[in-house]
Amino acid sequence: MSDSPVISLHDVSFTYRTQISRKPNFMEAVRNAGRGQRSTKLVHALKNVTFDVAQGEVLGIVGANGAGKSTLMRAIGGIVPPDEGEIRVRGEISALLALGVGFNPQLSGRENVILAGLATGLSREVVEEQYQAIVEFAEIEEFMDMPMRTYSSGMYSRLGFAVATNMNPDILLIDEALSTGDAHFKEKSSQRIKELKDSAGAMVIVSHSMATLKELSNRLLWMHKGEVIATGEPEKIIDAYSKFLKVGNINAVMEDF
Amino acid sequence: MRVFKPFKAGFPNFRIYLAQIWQRKAFIHELSLAERRLEHLDTVFGAIWTILSPMLMAAIYYLLVMVLQGGHKPPNFLVHLLAGVFIFNFISVSAMRCARSITNSGRLITNANFPRAILPLTQTWTSFLQLLPALAILLVAQVTLGPGLSWTLLWAIPDLAIIFIFAVGFGFLTATANVYFRDTAAALPYFNRVWTYASPVLYTADQVRNLSTHDSWMYVNPLFAPLEIWSGTIAQLQTFPLHLWLISLGGAVLFLMLGTAVFLYREGEFAVRV
């Protein structure tokens, strides 16, 4: 059982339509009916992506903007179902794709933490148990009974980070969420991620910081325009990717890869 | 082990989906309580508005009916009017809140994995919690102005359950519709207003029945039978034949099934549509 991968993607493709102008209103929808999808554009966000993440592994993902990194994370997190292929995930996922999105600014920090825990499907008792750890980690004890609209943006994302990483996830998906708050909290959160690296079943990190990726990940995956270009040793991939960023041509880089 | 595959014919696995919602029932209730508390936070009267607004609405409708119909009113008409207006207010508020439940949660939907149905469900439950104080007023009115307490009143409870089922189904429909046509939320108040006039709220079902011999068309409105039972039970202490209950339940279940099907069929797309 433990030999089988924790995350397994097989031939996953994802396509979506995006509106070129804006959301259609009723009249436009009536006008466009029967004329084909004129106001939409098809985006191939993922093309036949296949890879596994083993137990205890930290997979880093690099790629230029629009490579499909965020879509890939959303697919693994079950936020968007793939159009083709299959994604198998073993365990509870916690996704740090954007911090504190579910928080209601009118409610107090305390209420938001409880609600966030219940929203992931945890029982009240478990959430109450986690509460103290979350507050201590975020270091905003004295603000917990104030509405979150009074929080600074740093406090807001600190609490978001604390909630997401304290729900004992088996699998952690992190999208550029490492740079949170001030220098002190940044240090603390990257420390926390290193701890989770040992306790969590697996981790997938998207980042533009090569230093972070080199430090944390066992393996890197390089994506470009929805396709997996290469996967392997972090140093090797970073070299190839950095070269690509300078040259701007994948084929030229891959020749001597 | 969880498997994310292309939705089978557009639908997620229904059994797993239902289990995930059940697991989050505490969340739905807590969030509803919080939202109810927040709603009138910035007004002077605060939570009193949840009672005040349906009462003001009932007062306006009462004046309207007085002007239009003159003095001829069925017995206990005020209790009938309150009963109908409070329930209809619940359905329209729930439909409105549901319509915005998906479109207002864009960032949450694109960044977190959870059964999307909990968003409209929470809104229907919030609206239901807001109905409770109005029902307390209705009970007071029933005792002081109406026919008074009786065991027959207990029939109102299963009827309220039917109305709730309807509201859930209708909420799923408005939530999905508003993702594709943002005009839904704007058009909904007028739609609800017309629907009120087509339901036995400002008049009683018997008044319509006396107008013509062919009265079955009125059951095309799925809320007609449940409202007829609701205010008939409360204002007249009437009991109703089985077929009327079956029409009520059938309409509500039909809306629930239709709403659930439409919502689940489209849910996978919400993340790229909001």
Q: Is the pLDDT of residue A1 over 50?
A: no
The terminus-to-terminus CA distance of chain B in angstroms comes to: 29
Q: Is the pLDDT of residue B9 over 60?
A: no
Contact of A105 with chain B, judged by CB distance below 8 Å, is answered with no
Between CA B210 and CA A178 the distance in angstroms is 71
Contact of B133 with chain A, judged by CB distance below 8 Å, is answered with no
| Exposure letters A88-118 (e unless 16+ CB within 10 A, then b) | bbbbbbbbbbbbbbbbbebbbbebbbbbbbb
Question: CB–CB of B38 and A104 under 8 A?
Answer: yes
Residue-wise pLDDT tens digits, A4-29:
888 999 999 998 877 665 555 667 66
Between CA B108 and CA B118, with CA B113 as vertex, the angle to 5 degrees is 75
Closest in B7, B27, B113 to A79, CB measured: B113
Residues from chain A that touch B2, judged by Cβ atoms under 8 A, are 78, 88-90
Between CA B98 and CA B89 the distance in angstroms is 14
Contact of A124 with chain B, judged by CB distance below 8 Å, is answered with yes
Residue-wise pLDDT tens digits, B134-152:
999 999 999 999 898 999 9
Q: Which amino acid type is present at position B75? A: P
Q: What is the mean pLDDT of residues B56-77?
A: 83
Residues from chain B that touch A99, judged by Cβ atoms under 8 A, are none
**ipTM of the prediction:** 0.81
Question: CB–CB of B4 and A97 under 8 A?
Answer: no
Instruction: Determine the pLDDT at residue A33.
Output: 65
Contact of A191 with chain B, judged by CB distance below 8 Å, is answered with no
Closest in B4, B107, B114 to A87, CB measured: B4
Between CA B25 and CA B23 the distance in angstroms is 6
Contact of A31 with chain B, judged by CB distance below 8 Å, is answered with no
Domains and CATH numbers, chain A: 7-91+201-255 (3.40.50.300)
Residue B46 backbone zone (phi > 0: left; psi -120 to 50: alpha; other: beta)? left
- Minimal Cα–Cα distance from B43 to chain A, Å? 14
- Minimal Cα–Cα distance from B258 to chain A, Å? 22
- Minimal Cα–Cα distance from A183 to chain B, Å? 26
Q: How confident is the model at residue B99 (pLDDT cuts 50, 70, 90)?
A: very high
Contact of B246 with chain A, judged by CB distance below 8 Å, is answered with no
Q: How confident is the model at residue B14 (pLDDT cuts 50, 70, 90)?
A: confident
Question: CB–CB of B5 and A87 under 8 A?
Answer: yes
Q: How many contacts, defined by CB atoms under 8 Å, are there between A and B?
A: 104
